[in-house]
Amino acid sequence: MKTHQSLILFIFILLNQITIAQEHHKTTTDTIPFELTKHNNIAIKAILNGTDKVNLMFHTATSGITLIKEVTDKFTSMQWSQGDHVKSWGGENKSRFSKNNTLQIGNFKWSNLSIWENKNSGPTTDGKFGPNLFKDRIIEIDFDNRILILHQTLPNKIAAYQKLALQFENDFMFINGISKVGDQNYPNKFLIHSGFGGTILYDDEFVQKTKIGNQITIIDQQELKDSYGNVLKTKKGILSQFKLGKEAFENIPVGFFEGAIGRQKMSVIGGNLLKRFNLIIDAKRTHIYIKSNQLKDSPYKG
């Protein structure tokens, strides 16, 4: 009888411990510190193949891992193979790749990774990676405290955030915003692109439809290079108002390509605007929660 009771007690304790462990797993978060660079990029320390220390840009509009040519020769832990043609937002180029690599960021470690080589990343970074490494995890980007937090469940703090719909297409995350051009408000879909250090870059169709070049003050013209060195010329002007959800921004710098060059297929929201929010992206990438932070009214640089 005592043996039977002891067995029941043991099973009860075991089940209770399993339940506690499961609940702990559900609420566990992992915090990764990052640097917000002066170019509005998110830079994160990582270790490659257990040996090489790298500084990677967290790039919300990419799905792979890349390293720039400038640093690849320094890493003795990698074996390179001749690559194939790789497409980027500015064109197509041939690139080397390396198989069977490991990458460690904070408490996370991935193995059997392929890494591609290209020419450019965010200034001061050695390469970049995308949110696909954090598949099935909720991603919180806290610009106030310079930390990236990975959650199993949505944190209670979202009660103070705006909930906005995301469109998730081919590993890209899009959000709707409204631009005031002249006296008209134009809704448009924007790629969330933390690798782009600017504020907003408009697609060619939007530029043609709104004739924005004739309706805003042009303050600059510059060249933009993509990851593989393709040069694209842009114009910069001042937009009177841009709205994301309930948040409105006045007199912000925006960029676009002049003329119908047919190259810029999508509009982009970059780091110079994203950094003004603390962001929470749900695990299924169907919604994003936004809350303006201490950087909302900071000067627009660059």
**What integer best gives the mean pLDDT of the chain?**
86
Domain residue extents for the chain = 30-151, 156-292
What is the C-alpha to C-alpha distance for residues 163 and 245, in angstroms, rounded to an integer?
8
Return the CATH superfamily for domain 156-292.
Acid Proteases (2.40.70.10)
Q: Does CATH number 3.40.50.2300 belong to domain 30-151?
A: no
- CB count within 10 Å of CB 177 equals 21
Question: What is the mean predicted confidence (pLDDT) over 87-92?
Answer: 48
Residue 250 has what pLDDT?
96
Q: Are 149 and 137 in contact (CB under 8 A)?
A: no
Q: Which contiguous run of DSSP H or E holds residue 235?
A: strand 231-244
Quick one: pLDDT at residue 78? 87
User: What's the per-residue H, E or C state across 7-66?
Assistant: HHHHHHHHHHHHHHHHHHHHHCEEEEECEECCCCCEEEEEEECCCEEEEEEECCCCCCEE
- Per-residue pLDDT at 21: 36
**pLDDT per residue over 181-200, tens digit each?**
999 999 999 999 999 999 99
Question: Phi/psi at 207 (nearest 5 deg)?
Answer: -60, -45
Residue 93's CB is within 10 A of a number of other CB atoms, namely 17
142-167: per-residue pLDDT in tens? Answer: 999 999 999 999 999 999 999 999 99
Instruction: Using a pLDDT cut of 90, give the percent of the chain over it.
Output: 69
Give the per-residue SS3 of 74-123.
Answer: CCCCCCCECCCEEEECCEEEECCEEEEEEEEECCEEEEEEEEEEECCCCC
Q: pTM for the complete prediction?
A: 0.83
Q: Could you tell me which residues come within 8 angstroms of residue 228 by beta carbon, excluding any fewer than 6 positions away?
A: 86, 88, 90, 91, 93, 95, 118, 119, 120
Look at residue 302 in the predicted model and tell me its pLDDT: 57
Q: Tokens in use for 168?
A: 């998730």
Cα 191 to Cα 182: distance, rounded to the nearest angstrom: 23
- Least confident range from 70-79, 80-89, 100-109: namely 80-89
- Mean of the pLDDT values across residues 62-79? 88
Query: At which residue do the structure tokens 């991935």 appear?
Result: 110
Confidence class of residue 227 from pLDDT cuts 50, 70 and 90?
A: low
Helix ranges, 151-276 (H): 204-210, 271-274
pLDDT at position 88 is 47
Shared fold status for 30-151 and 156-292: yes
Six-digit token string for 124: 């001061």
